Amino acid sequence: MGRPDVFTAPGALHIHFGDLFDLLPRGEPPSVGLCDNDIERLPTMTYRKTSKSSSTDEKCAICLSEYKTGEIVKRLRCKHFFHPECIDPWLKTSTQCPICRRQQTD
């Protein structure tokens, strides 16, 4: 029988288990979200409920809490807005708006 540290399958190449690690990417993992500077540059505004506000504009789509008048919200390029403490962690792992999926990068 073959060596226990060698992976074999019918019709496949014989691969030493340790060689599989050589196939893994090396170095820094690829960035998947926005950098801190880009997140900090997103505009913030003071929330005010208006007669034009739709029901989706009245609460944060991440935490589902209703916005309160005078609360600071962060606006994305797509014009959706969120609590900064909700959207900032999201944007560190994604470059898309959680509502419309529009890219927030150039």
Give the least confident one: 3-17, 38-52, 84-98: 3-17
> Domains of the chain by range and CATH?
36-93 (3.30.40.10)
Q: pLDDT tens digit string along 3-23?
A: 556 555 666 666 676 777 777
pLDDT recorded at residue 14: 66
Higher pLDDT, 105 or 73: 73
pLDDT value for 49: 82
3-state secondary structure of 72: strand
Q: What is the pTM of this model?
A: 0.66
Q: pLDDT per residue over 56-90, tens digit each?
A: 578 999 999 999 999 999 999 999 999 999 999 99
Mean pLDDT in residue range 15-33: 72
* Angstrom distance (rounded) from CA 80 to CA 99: 8
pLDDT at 31: 66
Q: Render the burial of 53-83: b for 16+ CB within 10 Å, e for the rest.
A: eeeebeebbeeeeebeeeeebbebeeebbbb
**Helix extents (H) in 9-69:** 17-20, 36-41
Please state, in angstroms and as integers, the Cα–Cα distance from residue 60 to each residue in 10, 34, 74, 83, following that order.
54, 20, 10, 7
103 conformational bin, left if phi > 0, alpha if psi -120 to 50, beta if neither = beta
Q: What pLDDT is attached to residue 19?
A: 75
Instruction: Report the pLDDT value the prediction gives residue 61, as an integer from 0 to 100.
Output: 95
